[in-house]
Each structure stands twice: as C-alpha cells, then as structure tokens.
Copies of this chain bind each other. A is one copy, B any other.
Amino acid sequence: MEILWDEIPVFTEEYLKVIDITDKVQQIIREKKVNEGSILIYNPHVTSAITVNEPDPELWDDLLEAYQRLVPLKANYKHNAKYRGIPREENAHAHILNTFIGQSVTIPVREGRLLLGTWQGVLYIELDGGKRRNLVVQITRLK
C-alpha cells in the first residue's frame, strides 16, 4: 500500500461560484495509474467547501440561491463586526456554510475507475471568492 499526493489549484474572481473539478480528479487517477484504493480531496480553506453532486449549471444556481437564503451574506455576524472595513474578511456566511457542506470528500477507486455515479461530479464550492486556493489530494493506493 502506498500514499500518493497531488494538489488542485482553484481560482475564481466571482464571490460565489461552483467549479466542476471532476476532470482534474480523473486525470490524477489516470496519471498515477491508481487501480484500487481511494482518493481524499481535502479543502484546507474555511470559507469554501467541497461536495459531490450533479455537474449542471442550472442546479448550481439553485444551490447558491438556497445557501444564501438559509445563511445570508449580510447579517449581524460577530465575526464580520471584528473585520468591519475589511470587506474581504466579512465572510461569516461562508464559514457557516462550510460546516454544513463539508471540508472533504472520499471517493473509492476500483479497476482503475473513480466510482462516481452517473450524475456525480466533484464540485468545489467557492463562498468567498477572489482568493487563490489549493486543494490537497491524498490517494491511498493498494495496487
């Protein structure tokens, strides 16, 4: 058994944005010739999130709208009050949503294939955009 490492850089100038990183994950599995094991995609940032869902831009609008409806960008957040005047740090909404959506996904790999379902893609969810991000990729490869 061995552990392999990689990373996936992501960047958008938009404040809220869903980015499909499925191709990048598939490419890592191919390049590293992972036949059996699993891949952990870990987001070391606290104001964006990662999930697995459908690569459908209309759905992404629905996701971002629901997120903002449930956790408004502007509210009486104490975290933001501390950073008043520093707009790019007024991001409590993003922290809160990160705790719901999650920091990482683990996807099994079998016979050289990432076991994503038919409608599944790996989605990076930027909630506090305009910042350069780097996702950690850890592969556990049995063979």
Residues of A within 8 A of B (CB): 1-3, 5, 36-38, 40, 42-46, 51-54, 56, 58-59, 61-63, 66, 70-71, 77-79, 81-82, 92, 95-96, 98-108, 110, 115-120, 125, 136, 138, 140, 142
Contacts and interface: CB of A to CB of B under 8 A. Distances in A.
Contacts of A92: 59, 62
Given A62-B96, A100-B100, A142 B42 contact: no
Nearest to A110: B5
A44 B116 contact: yes
A115 B136 contact: yes
A119 B45 contact: yes
Contact of A53 (B2, B59, B98): B98
